[in-house]
Amino acid sequence: MLNYVPDLDSVFHALADPGRRLMLERLGQGPASVSELGTSLPMSLAAVVQHVQVLEASGLVRTQKLGRTRMCSLNPAPLRSAERWISERGAFVERSLDRLGQYLAETAQTTDTPTNAGQSGLHPSEEETS
Amino acid sequence: MLNYVPDLDSVFHALADPGRRLMLERLGQGPASVSELGTSLPMSLAAVVQHVQVLEASGLVRTQKLGRTRMCSLNPAPLRSAERWISERGAFVERSLDRLGQYLAETAQTTDTPTNAGQSGLHPSEEETS
Contact A70, A34 (CB under 8 A): yes
List pLDDT tens digits, range A49-98: 999 999 999 999 999 999 999 999 999 999 999 999 999 887 766 666 66
What stretches of A1-130 adopt beta strand conformation (E)? 32-33, 61-66, 69-74
CA gap B18, B23 in Å, rounded: 9
Q: Report ipTM for this prediction.
A: 0.72
- Maximal C-alpha separation, chain B: 96
Question: Which of B39, B46, B41, B8 minimizes the C-alpha distance to B22?
Answer: B41
Ranges A7-16, A42-51, B107-116: which has the least confidence? B107-116
Mutate to test the interface with A, among B21, B29, B95, B103 (most CBs of A within 10 A): B21
CA distance A3 to chain B (A): 8
List pLDDT tens digits, range B23-50: 999 999 899 999 999 988 999 999 999 9
